[in-house]
A and B are shown apart, each in its own frame.
Chain A
Amino acid sequence: MAQAKNPAGGKDNFTRNLVIAVVLGVVLIMLVPTLISKKSNTNAAIPSSVSVEDGYGMVFNKDVKDVPFIEIYEDFQCPACQRFEGITSEYIEDLINTKKAKVAYHMLSFLGAESQLAANAAGCAADQGKFLQFHKLLYANQPPENSGAWTSSYFTTLSLGLGISDNAYDKCIANNEYKDWVVNVANEGAKRNINSTPTVFINGKEVDRNKAYNSLAEFMLAVSKA
C-alpha cells in the first residue's frame, strides 16, 4: 500500500493531495450511512406490547399498579444474559403470569448484526403473543457471537416449535420489519447509560451486578425488598 512514490519527487504534491481527498471521501462515505442508521425514528413500526414511554421496551403488566417494576437490558447474543435468563426466567415469568411485577424487556443489539436480527424476530414473535416463549427458546439455542447461525430461516424454523406458522410472521422476519424499533431500543439504552448486559433495574434502581445476577435467591431477595 505504501509503495506509491511521488514521481515528481520535488515540488508537486498533486498525487498526495489526490490520495488525501480519496481517503477522506471514502471515510465520509462510510460514516454517513452509519450516522443515518443510528438515528432514532419516532415513526418506527413497533411490535405489540411495546411501550414507547418505557424506552421502547417490551412491557408486561403495564397497567398493574403497586408492584415492583423490573427492567431488563440484554442482548440475545450475550452469554452473561443467557446465564441470567437460565437462572431467573422461570421466576420472572411466574411474576408476570401472577401479575406480581411489571416487567420490561429491552433487547439491545450492541453485539452486532445478528443481535439486531434476533431482536427484530423477538418483536415479530411478540405480535404472535409468544415473546416470552421465543425469548427462552432463543437463549436455549444461543450460538457463538456472530457465527452466521441466526438467519431469517433459522428464526422461522425455530418458531415452528412454538406453534407459530403464520405468513405474516415469516414476512416480518424476512423483511426485518422492526429494524427501526431495534435502533430506537438501542438508542434509549445508550441514553440511559447502559454499559453492560445484562443490566437490571428494580423500581429504577440498578441491581447489584456481583450478587443478584448469579443467584436466584439473591435476585428474589432484591425483588421482594422493592
Chain B
Amino acid sequence: MKEKFTIWQPWLGLLARLILGGVLFIAGYLKIGTPDKSQMAVRAYEILPNSIANTLGLVLPFIEILIGALLILGSLTRAMAALGGFTMLIFIIAISQAWARGLNIDCGCFGGGGAVEPGQTKYLQEILRDAGLVFLAAYLFRYPSTKFSLDKNQVTHNSQEDVE
C-alpha cells in the first residue's frame, strides 16, 4: 500500500496542481477584461471598506493568474499551494458570511458577481467547490514533489526539504 502510494503520489500531485492551478488561472483570466465588474463583485460581499474593495477587485484577478500559472508549471509548488489554499479559505469565509447575512450575491469567482435575484444564489455549491480546492492545496503542501514540475529534485520522492 505504502509503496503503491509512493508511485502514485507524484501523479496525484500533478493532477492536483493542474486542477487547482487551472481553476485559479481561468478564474483570473475571465476577470481581467472587466475590472469594473471585478471591483463590483468584491464590493458586493460588504466586508471591506469601499476603497480597499475596489483595489482588491483590480489586483485579485492578476494574483490568481500568477498563482495559477506557477502551479500549472510546477514552480514554487509548495508556496503556491499554500497561497492558493489560503485564497480559497478566504473565499469560503467571504461566501459563508454573505450567506449567513442573507445577502443575495453571486460569488463572482469566474467573472460576473454582484447582486442577484433572491433565490438565485449558489452559496452551497460555491463553498463545496472551494473546499475541494483547499483539499488539493493541502495535499500539494504536504506532498509538493510532483511529476513534470520545474521544482528541483522532482526525480526523488522525498524532496520536501528542498522546496523554497
| B75 in complex: contacting residue of A20, A108, A191, CB < 8 Å | A20
Q: Which of A117-144 contact B (CB under 8 A)?
A: none
Q: Does B132 contact A (CB under 8 A)?
A: no
Distance to closest chain B CB from A102 (angstroms)? 25
Q: Within the assembled complex, what's the spacing in Å between the Cα atoms of A190 and B49? A: 12
The chain B residue sitting closest to A186, CB to CB, is B36
Distance to closest chain B CB from A144 (angstroms)? 15
How does the 8 Å CB contact mask read for B41-69 relative to A, with 1 for contact and 0 for none?
00110000011001000110010011001
Q: Within the assembled complex, what's the spacing in Å between the Cα atoms of A193 and B51? A: 9
- A109/B36 in contact, CB under 8 A: yes
Given contacts A34-B58, A109-B36, contact A20 B152 (CB under 8 A): no
Q: Does A64 contact B (CB under 8 A)?
A: no
Interface residues on B, range: 35 or more
- B155/A194 in contact, CB under 8 A: no
Contacts of B43 in A (CB 8 A): 190, 193, 195
The chain A residue sitting closest to B44, CB to CB, is A195
- B148/A12 in contact, CB under 8 A: no
> Per DSSP, are chain B's interface residues mostly helix, strand or loop, or mixed?
helix
| B115 in complex: contacting residue of A1, A38, A111, A195, CB < 8 Å | A195
How does the 8 Å CB contact mask read for B9-35 relative to A, with 1 for contact and 0 for none?
000001001100000000000001111
Tally of chain A residues near chain B (CB < 8 A) = 41
How does the 8 Å CB contact mask read for A181-199 relative to B, with 1 for contact and 0 for none?
0000010011101111000
Contacts of B148 in A (CB 8 A): 2-5
User: Which B residues are within 8 Å of any A CB, using their own CB?
Assistant: 14, 17-18, 32-37, 39-40, 43-44, 50-51, 54, 58-59, 62, 65-66, 69-70, 72-76, 105, 114-115, 118, 148-155
User: Which A residues are within 8 Å of any B CB, using their own CB?
Assistant: 1-6, 8-13, 15-16, 19-20, 23-24, 27, 30-31, 34-35, 37-38, 108-113, 186, 189-191, 193-196, 209-210
